[in-house]
Chains A and B, each alone.
Chain A
């Protein structure tokens, strides 16, 4: 049935909710990429079979639902049983009969499968009480984990498309743009550009043919929010796009999805078909006479294609080389037509803003950064995963509150945000409220919302070198400062990590960085020095150690680091022996082990695996010890 009036939508939603309410219990099995990787599809199948076999489907009205990512992938596969709200982690198919018997039919919990809070070692029964979830506020991710992404009726039961109905049937395009403006929504994909300003410019641009584009390229390594949104709630993205298209007067749209995200393409494709059938997309949307349709385009695997002008070239079938933008894309973008391009999360916010109002959204966040923002919290924290928080939460609350602190309670060193265009924020700034302005002031940026936590075993020189080696593969190669500058910067860093650093290197890095920032054509090259400059700003002493002492304080640069076993502390557990890939360790169980320096490749596997504090230690290879001994 096509929806052509608010009343028809309300009726559809009422019936969808009734249908949902008919299930007395729902078993939500996470089928996001993370959990699928951990075997959640087999868990879901086991549930369907087991429930049927036990007759629970009919009797208790229990229903299995495959949802998108709950964000807590590290503990996957996740299973949530509603309405009780019981969360089970790391569920295996063999656990399913027990869950059906004890929890679904019997109403009791199975302590073994509950989440154990690493902070107090207590088991947590309810989803909402897990610190990882308790501190979140979800806007773009509002329905992820609750709905079956391949079922529009289920999505509508959770208010999907209500924002579109309100926008198109009760408001004018100008009012919609005004609402977005008052909400303070800023782009979630990069620099935080004011969304309404882009929309208005495109609306006012001359030309009949206009485009809206959704940037789902998500190239920042360590960020996966857009993936989870597209997979777990494609309707929120589509709804935002249709609202935007209507507001600016575009009839054609594209969703550019990263090649590594096949499930996102599948779920979006299904959602598009279902939305067309309901009249939310395609010809004569909601009976208003407005036509708009959208095409999915798979990216070719190029980080630079996340940059808006390169993305548009890629959609045109060309190589993804950015163009100098002295004319805005809102005047001359895709196929040289006026174009609005926004990030997946930006689009996903739009429907919620329309539905709940600008004031609701603007009520969250800080002075200039409104609303909530999705982050992927990864790296050396105990709880890794995907979160959405009001802007302005401090890094400390995120890393220690939600993330549960550093793995093995090692010392915190930095959080990397903003991907290859961002920087590393040090411990001294842990109380920094996270918003666009504060991160930029700290020499980093919001970017795609990747937060990679680093401990004392992360070498900051190596981190900067890592981003350079990433970028040199990803630079399009069009302009000199970026193409040649990255090459030469990497030469300097290769020397630093190999102990060939020279006095003056830091200054050479700074001069080159300034040239790249000012001279490069696009933001890739302009921002490429950010990881370099921010590590120099906060961790200069680590650079100096590499240059002057030929030492890596984190013990990560292999050419500078050696490992040894302290005989007095080794208890002979034999673990390092098994972990060493170079067969450089000898020793029998329960006897003291030894590392043979001539074979050791300094990979540190022994150090990481050793359960006895201090038994494996590292020291600089620079010969200082030998000199001391003499």
Chain B
């Protein structure tokens, strides 16, 4: 365990935790946009900036992103120094210029006292904040169907050649993780579509619910060496079946 202070309050967290983890553990709120507990931190949105210092640094402070900076013994974290607040405001002001119509960004900006951006609003408004969560989640399941394209001001998230991505399995993880809900998709009992690619759904042989795409079933099977048919049964029915097996087992006993 390591012990540190955050805005004067003591936090104890396991070694390996980040400053953000520690803050959350004691209920100190730090705004974040590109961080997700299931994914490796990435440090792109810069909202979670805080000032850190240590006794032996003799008054020297450094500004770090709390989602990545490791919690260490004796660290003193300040989440709202003047320069932290000022920098965070610049970041939000810039994000609001990029995404003037996006509710999440508007809300975060409002919380920091910004109602209208002081910069030039994006002539082609977008909801994508380029937090990279979608591409990272897709990487983490091992598909990598989408990625960032171009660099600098022109950067965007897109499938290869801006065409329906051949590798996509239609799991919707990217759309679900997107903080601004800006990845459009449709899903119904018969079909699902995302990134311009259409998928057929697999129906659970027990309850008849369409719960997974054919590609998903094939992908999971290919990864685990478990037959594809295993994934065709939906999770709910799997649980029911399991429960039944247990019941019959105990009956036998």
Residues of A that sit less than 8 Å from B by CB = 302, 304, 319, 323-324, 326, 472-481, 483-488, 491, 508, 511-512, 514-516, 518-521
Q: Which of B65, B95, B130, B148 makes the CB contact (< 8 A) with A324?
A: B65
In the complex, chain B residues 151-182 whose Cβ is within 8 Å of any chain A Cβ:
151-155
Bound complex: CA of A267 vs CA of B97, how far in Å?
A: 49
Q: List 17 A-B contacts (CB under 8 A).
A: A319-B148, A324-B65, A324-B68, A476-B151, A477-B154, A478-B44, A479-B43, A480-B44, A480-B46, A481-B46, A481-B91, A483-B130, A483-B155, A486-B153, A518-B83, A518-B87, A519-B49
| Residues on A with beta carbons closer than 8 Å to the beta carbon of B64 | 326
Bound complex: CA of A300 vs CA of B7, how far in Å?
A: 45
Residue B104 interfacial (CB < 8 Å): no
| Residues on B with beta carbons closer than 8 Å to the beta carbon of A512 | 90, 119
Closest to A518 in B: B87
Structural contact, B119 and A326, CB atoms closer than 8 A: no
User: In the complex, how many angstroms separate the beta carbon of A347 from the nearest chain B beta carbon?
Assistant: 28
Residues of B that sit less than 8 Å from A by CB = 43-46, 49, 63-65, 68-70, 83, 86-91, 94-95, 97-98, 118-120, 129-130, 132, 148, 150-155
Interface of A is mostly: helix
Structural contact, A514 and B87, CB atoms closer than 8 A: yes
Structural contact, B91 and A521, CB atoms closer than 8 A: no
| Residues on B with beta carbons closer than 8 Å to the beta carbon of A511 | 86, 90
Structural contact, A302 and B46, CB atoms closer than 8 A: no
| Residues on B with beta carbons closer than 8 Å to the beta carbon of A484 | 94-95, 97-98
Q: Which of B44, B70, B87, B129 makes the CB contact (< 8 A) with A521?
A: B44
User: In the complex, how many angstroms separate the beta carbon of A461 from the nearest chain B beta carbon?
Assistant: 18
Structural contact, A477 and B83, CB atoms closer than 8 A: no
Structural contact, A480 and B86, CB atoms closer than 8 A: no
Structural contact, B46 and A483, CB atoms closer than 8 A: no
Q: Which of A326, A475, A488, A521 makes the CB contact (< 8 A) with B94?
A: A488
| Residues on B with beta carbons closer than 8 Å to the beta carbon of A514 | 83, 86-87, 90
| Residues on A with beta carbons closer than 8 Å to the beta carbon of B153 | 472, 475, 477, 483, 486-487
Structural contact, A480 and B91, CB atoms closer than 8 A: yes
| Residues on B with beta carbons closer than 8 Å to the beta carbon of A304 | 151
Instruction: Please indicate which of the listed interface residues A323, A515, A516, A519 has the most CB atoms of chain B within 10 Å of its own CB.
Output: A519
Structural contact, A479 and B44, CB atoms closer than 8 A: yes
Bound complex: CA of A324 vs CA of B70, how far in Å?
A: 12
Q: Which of B65, B88, B118, B152 makes the CB contact (< 8 A) with A476?
A: B152
Closest to B120 in A: A491
Structural contact, B120 and A302, CB atoms closer than 8 A: no
Bound complex: CA of A487 vs CA of B97, how far in Å?
A: 10
User: In the complex, how many angstroms separate the beta carbon of B97 from the nearest chain A beta carbon?
Assistant: 6
Structural contact, B45 and A479, CB atoms closer than 8 A: yes
Bound complex: CA of A316 vs CA of B69, how far in Å?
A: 24
| Residues on B with beta carbons closer than 8 Å to the beta carbon of A486 | 152-153
Structural contact, A474 and B152, CB atoms closer than 8 A: yes
Bound complex: CA of A319 vs CA of B94, how far in Å?
A: 24
Structural contact, A491 and B90, CB atoms closer than 8 A: no
| Residues on B with beta carbons closer than 8 Å to the beta carbon of A472 | 152-153
User: In the complex, how many angstroms separate the beta carbon of B50 from the nearest chain A beta carbon?
Assistant: 12
Closest to B47 in A: A480
Query: Known contacts A480-B91, A485-B90, A515-B90: does B43 contact A521 (CB below 8 Å)?
Result: yes
Which are the 8 A-B pairs with shortest beta-carbon distances?
Answer: A515-B90, A477-B155, A484-B94, A488-B119, A324-B43, A475-B152, A519-B87, A518-B87
Contacts A479-B44, A487-B153 aside, 14 further interface pairs with beta carbons under 8 A come to A326-B69, A326-B70, A472-B152, A473-B152, A477-B151, A480-B44, A481-B46, A488-B119, A491-B120, A511-B90, A512-B90, A515-B87, A515-B89, A519-B49
Structural contact, A480 and B94, CB atoms closer than 8 A: yes
Q: Which of B63, B70, B86, B119 makes the CB contact (< 8 A) with A491?
A: B119
| Residues on A with beta carbons closer than 8 Å to the beta carbon of B95 | 480, 484
User: In the complex, how many angstroms separate the beta carbon of A311 from the nearest chain B beta carbon?
Assistant: 15
Bound complex: CA of A190 vs CA of B151, how far in Å?
A: 23
| Residues on B with beta carbons closer than 8 Å to the beta carbon of A302 | 151
Closest to A482 in B: B152
